[in-house]
Structure 1
Amino acid sequence: MLRSLDIRDMLLIDRLELDFQSGLNVLTGETGAGKSILLDALGFVLGWRGRAELVRAGAKQGEVVAVFDLPDGHPAQEVLEEAGFDHGDELILRRVNTRDGRKTAWINDRRCSGEVLRRLSDRLVELHGQHDDRGLLNPRGHRQLLDAFAGAAPQLDAARTAWRALSDARRKQAEAEAALDAVRAEEDFLRHAVEELDKLAPEPGEEADLDTRRRLMQSAERVREDITRAHAALAGDGAESLLTDAMRWLDGAAEGADGRLDEPLAALARAQNELAEAEQGVADCLQALDFDPSELEATEERLFAIRALARKHDVLPDDLATFADTLRSKLAALDAGEADRDALAKAVREAQAAYAAAATALSETRQAAAARLDAAMAAELAPLKMERAVFTTKLAAAEPGPEGHDAVAFTVATNPGAPAGPLDKIASGGELSRFLLALKVCLTQNTAGLTLIFDEIDRGVGGATADAVGRRLAALARDAQVLVVTHSPQVAALGQHHWRVEKRETDEMTTSNVVPLDPGARIDEIARMISGDIVTDEARGAARALLAG
């Protein structure tokens, strides 16, 4: 329930503090007195998008504070918890608008965004009037309104979940088909390239080894002759024989040299070992250089084949093996693709069946709710002097989506047998007011904790019809807080709490003020609403009669 509204420096309001009550609250006043300013201010603190310039002329900033009572289990508490705000039995909303257009908001003294305010407002306040701007006249919102009336949240969640699963299955199928199409387009190339790579079977590092062997074989003939001469000089009758002779001669003379030949003999022994190693290395080199000319030809052919294949596929020679593995994996995906394709198609069919079942269940819930809503509207329209009018909730097939495959539209016929059509196309101004009132009553009958605001919902009606509208508002206010901006004396007389909005001019400044009315002032205000500027005794008598019921 809206408990209080504190407005400072907004539009024509200098400073205004209002304390509201439960039940039916009525606001009256002359045209242009500023009744709509109150709604603008309330909408501002609730985050609604409205006028761009709200700050009072001459003020640096405007501010609105709204205080709501939140009993346990109030729907607004869920929004607060999701947004990370603590909550109790009182909710304080504060929003400031600076002269340069900057807006800042707080919830219980903590900064918040306008989006959080708007989410809260949906759980706190419903505003409706003849020129409804919250969805009743917009067919695009009728499905959502019907779902709320039906309590179809579980069916909606099931449909959304099934739609997400179907969309995911379709996405996976499309991606797999696209991948398969891409592979199919190069299948001939892949199979030929893999066959060519498998036949050659290149290995990492092989190109460098082949190049080294080729260079060695190419230079072998040129260096072999010199190495052979060196080997002959070292082995046989060469250095090895001479070194052996020298050691034999010195060894025979060592006894008479008094030890002077021991060190030379040791050095020659070491030299003999080194010479043997050198001779063996030269021999090994000669053996390595001993090759069949056909081996050089084969080495060059393989080396050139590896390099040509690397250039063909624009990869490094050492990456050919890895490249071959990549091509094989693509072929494997292609070969396995048909089996995967069947599995994905099956998944799509199953998801489609699950979505169809969920959407059908949602449709059935909507059909049943539509019948209940039509019956409830018939019951509401009768006390509003529209017992001959017919309200119908029409369901039609629509493009499937996350919220099912139904289109919903509210239609009316003002008389039996007359053609039905959209609310704002068929009904006159006064009829539309009553249709909207009846529809609002039906749609909010299971919504606890809302403050219902009706902005001139009784425009275009008078006499007994205005009295019927007022009595329906009073009945609605027995279980809710209702605020009504009205020009109808019949409606005003039924209010439990009455404020008059008035405009004042002081020091060449125009301001709006809201005055709570005591019983005497209330008689005068209703008399003014009946007779106009000149309040007569007859008008006061009529006002007393209206107040007496």
Structure 2
Amino acid sequence: MLHHLSIRNIVLIEALDLDFAPGLGVLTGETGAGKSILLDALGLILGMRADSGLVRAGEAAASVTASFEMGALAPDVAETLTDAGVEVEPGEPLIIRRQLKADGGSKAYINDAPVGVALLRELAPFLVEIHGQHDDRGLVNPRGHRALLDRYARVDSTAIEAAWKKWRLAEERLERQRAIIAKAAEDRDLLIAHLEELVALAPQPGEEEELAGERATMQKGERLAGDLSSVQQVFIGSDSPLAELRVAARRLDRIAGEHPLLEEVLAALDRAMIEADDAEDKLNRALDALAFDPLALDRVETRLFELRAAARKHACAVEDLPQKAADMRIALNAIEGGEAEVAALEQAAAEAGRVWRALAEAARAARTEAAGRLDAAVKGELAPLKLDAARFRTAVTPLEQGQWGAGGMDRVEFMIATNPGADFAPLAKIASGGELSRFILALKVALAEEGGAATMIFDEIDRGVGGAVAQAIGERLARLAGVGGGANGGQLLAVTHSPQVAARGTQHYFIAKSSDGIVTRTGVVQLDGAGRQEEIARMLSGAEITPEARAQADRLLEGV
């Protein structure tokens, strides 16, 4: 629930810090004092479109910060925050900050992490529910009516959703298998022919790389054959340079003892011949490695061509040809054994469908029964709220099969008729602003606050009414907020002009506008007991507060 609100430079508000508590908080003040500014500021926190006109005149920027006590985060909220990269420790507050610039643009933060405004709008239904003269969300939106009725009826919507997902998954698996079999059956003959070709070709893993290496080596040998042959002549034949060198060494061996230098010459020749022998050995090995065999090269190139042609034919890499053959076998096996698998999938899908239908039909019965109870409960709340001529109906309408979904097979919408004999229609299309707010209050009380945000705000719900009706509104607001031992304690804020409603508040905030002749400011103060008596007396009597008004204010305060 809302714990703290800090506003800086929003319209007439220069600086304002407010603390809120559980229960019913009332906001009062003269017309034009700036109550709507507070709601606009809170709207920014909830993702409302940023309007640079909200920035106080003469200021470059404005900001609003709200702190919410979350307690245990609902799974949906926790998941939404986690997906957005926002960390919230259990028990820690959720602090949302929105900044506006006078020249346009805005930024949003949650716990100091920058976020998009769309995230604020996504979180808004969990944080604050505002019902006012132009409300188009909350209970007015029929998209949430089924969930509210399900909570009221104690329908396990989670089980219905899980069963629906299981049914959809089973149907998708069935359709996929049918499509595989149908496609494979169409291509059966072609599959058999292609598989026979690949079996005959028998591609092996790594074969292309190995063949390409062999071909490159043989092609290199063909290119180097002439040069290597010329080099080889140095080593072979009786008239080769190496042979002549050996003859020279033998002659020197006979005369080397005649002079020391000749011995050195002989030693050098011996070393040269040893190196020459080593060179000859390596040359011979290189000749063997690079041996060029035209027939072998032709065989290698033919094999490479066959493998690569098959890869192009099947739109894959040569390395993937063995897997392609395995896939073809699987496809053919699917044709042969697919019917049995389809039968099993059909049975699983049918069983999943039966489970979902059973849950959905049970939900329909529960919804229909709960709708009658809810209608009766709302009817009991209408007369005290000066809506005694109105009628309320919870319409549970069966959906066409094509519209079934995770929520069941029904559409739920809250309908009203404000005049005798008038047709029922959606809430937003019939009720005026004041009537709409009172309808929503009646429905909220009847639902015993099933679902909804932790904080509710009613903006001038008592517009145009007074006396007993205002008294009834105040009683229901207090009941809804959990005042006086209510079972559904929460937080409710009411912007009101009614002293009967104001007297019911557990916190009372007074909004006033002041001016020094140059600058106009709006301020808010939380009233103590004496301040409450004075403000309620003002609301009763007008500009001049009389002793009678103060006495009446005391009676209203004592009666709550």
**Is the TM-score greater than 0.5?**
yes
- Aligned ranges 1:425-440 → 2 under 5 Å: 425-440=429-444
SS in 1 for 2:395: strand
Cα gap change, 1:87 to 1:325, in 2 (>3 Å) = closer
Cα gap change, 1:443 to 1:50, in 2 (>3 Å) = farther
Distance 1:8 1:427 in 2: 36
Distance 2:415 2:354 in 1: 32
| Structure 2 match to 1:241 | none
Distance 1:189 1:77 in 2: 53
| Structure 2 match to 1:150 | 153
Distance 2:77 2:117 in 1: 13
- Aligned ranges 1:184-223 → 2 under 5 Å: 184-191=185-192, 201=200
Question: Residue deviations 1:421-479, cap 9 Å, x none?
Answer: 22233444443332111112233435699333211112232333223212322333414
**AA at the equivalent of 2:425:** G
**AA at the equivalent of 2:33:** A
SS in 2 for 1:404: coil
SS in 1 for 2:140: coil
Cα gap change, 1:320 to 1:57, in 2 (>3 Å) = closer
For the pair 1:400 / 2:419, whether they are aligned, the reply is no
Deviation at 1:147, TM superposition (A): 2.5
SS in 2 for 1:471: helix
Distance 1:319 1:525 in 2: 85
CA contact (8 A) 2:95 2:110 kept: yes
| Structure 2 match to 1:131 | 134
| Structure 2 match to 1:491 | 501
Distance 2:339 2:75 in 1: 53
Distance 1:5 1:194 in 2: 73
SS in 1 for 2:93: strand
| Structure 1 match to 2:377 | 376
CA contact (8 A) 2:129 2:138 kept: no
Deviation at 1:15, TM superposition (A): 1.0
Deviation at 1:14, TM superposition (A): 0.8
Cα gap change, 1:423 to 1:110, in 2 (>3 Å) = closer
Deviation at 1:320, TM superposition (A): 9.1
CA contact (8 A) 1:159 1:358 kept: yes
Question: Residue deviations 1:319-338, cap 9 Å, x none?
Answer: 99987665444333222222
Instruction: Report the more deviating stretch, 185-194 or 429-438.
Output: 185-194
Distance 1:448 1:311 in 2: 64
Cα gap change, 1:330 to 1:390, in 2 (>3 Å) = same
Cα gap change, 1:322 to 1:382, in 2 (>3 Å) = closer
For the pair 1:85 / 2:103, whether they are aligned, the reply is no
| Structure 2 match to 1:177 | 178
Deviation at 1:404, TM superposition (A): 1.1
Question: Residue deviations 1:294-321, cap 9 Å, x none?
Answer: xxxxxxxxx99x979x789947999999
| Structure 1 match to 2:56 | 56
**AA at the equivalent of 2:505:** G
Distance 1:435 1:420 in 2: 14
Cα gap change, 1:183 to 1:62, in 2 (>3 Å) = same
For the pair 1:452 / 2:462, whether they are aligned, the reply is no
Deviation at 1:410, TM superposition (A): 0.6
Q: How many pairs are equivalent?
A: 445
Cα gap change, 1:159 to 1:323, in 2 (>3 Å) = closer
- Aligned ranges 1:251-290 → 2 under 5 Å: none
CA contact (8 A) 1:55 1:97 kept: no
| Structure 2 match to 1:95 | 97
Deviation at 1:197, TM superposition (A): 8.0
**AA at the equivalent of 1:413:** A
Deviation at 1:12, TM superposition (A): 2.2
CA contact (8 A) 1:130 1:459 kept: no
CA contact (8 A) 1:441 1:476 kept: yes
Question: Residue deviations 1:103-159, cap 9 Å, x none?
Answer: 24243x67777677666654443322243233211222211222333343xx22212
Cα gap change, 1:337 to 1:42, in 2 (>3 Å) = same
- Aligned ranges 1:413-428 → 2 under 5 Å: 413-414=417-418, 418-428=422-432
Distance 1:93 1:437 in 2: 29
Distance 1:168 1:539 in 2: 69
**AA at the equivalent of 1:352:** G
Distance 2:198 2:18 in 1: 87
Question: Residue deviations 1:87-111, cap 9 Å, x none?
Answer: 33x626241404253424243x677
**AA at the equivalent of 2:445:** V
CA contact (8 A) 2:134 2:433 kept: no
| Structure 1 match to 2:525 | 515
Deviation at 1:408, TM superposition (A): 0.2
| Structure 2 match to 1:292 | none
- Aligned ranges 1:229-248 → 2 under 5 Å: none
SS in 1 for 2:30: coil
Distance 2:127 2:16 in 1: 21
SS in 1 for 2:139: coil
Distance 1:317 1:129 in 2: 70
Distance 1:448 1:435 in 2: 16
SS in 2 for 1:408: strand
**AA at the equivalent of 1:432:** L
| Structure 1 match to 2:284 | none
| Structure 2 match to 1:259 | none
Question: Residue deviations 1:512-534, cap 9 Å, x none?
Answer: 11133456655554455456556
Distance 2:467 2:507 in 1: 22
| Structure 1 match to 2:19 | 19
SS in 2 for 1:140: helix
SS in 2 for 1:144: helix
CA contact (8 A) 1:80 1:86 kept: no
- Aligned ranges 1:282-361 → 2 under 5 Å: 314=313, 327-361=328-362
Cα gap change, 1:17 to 1:336, in 2 (>3 Å) = same
For the pair 1:7 / 2:7, whether they are aligned, the reply is yes
Cα gap change, 1:181 to 1:78, in 2 (>3 Å) = closer
| Structure 2 match to 1:501 | 511
Identity %: 47
Distance 1:496 1:194 in 2: 82
SS in 2 for 1:514: strand
Cα gap change, 1:74 to 1:334, in 2 (>3 Å) = closer
Cα gap change, 1:414 to 1:197, in 2 (>3 Å) = closer
For the pair 1:140 / 2:143, whether they are aligned, the reply is yes
SS in 2 for 1:58: coil
CA contact (8 A) 1:367 1:395 kept: yes
SS in 2 for 1:401: coil
| Structure 2 match to 1:229 | none
Distance 1:101 1:75 in 2: 31
**AA at the equivalent of 1:489:** P
**AA at the equivalent of 2:337:** A
SS in 1 for 2:409: strand
Instruction: Report the more deviating stretch, 484-493 or 522-531.
Output: 522-531
**AA at the equivalent of 1:405:** M
Distance 1:475 1:337 in 2: 63
SS in 2 for 1:66: strand
Q: What is the Cα-based RMSD across aligned positions, in Å?
A: 4.2
Distance 1:197 1:406 in 2: 56
| Structure 2 match to 1:270 | none
Cα gap change, 1:59 to 1:329, in 2 (>3 Å) = same
Distance 2:21 2:319 in 1: 86
SS in 2 for 1:358: helix
Cα gap change, 1:144 to 1:326, in 2 (>3 Å) = closer
Computing the radius of gyration from Cα coordinates, the structure with the larger value is 1
Cα gap change, 1:337 to 1:541, in 2 (>3 Å) = same
Distance 1:135 1:22 in 2: 21
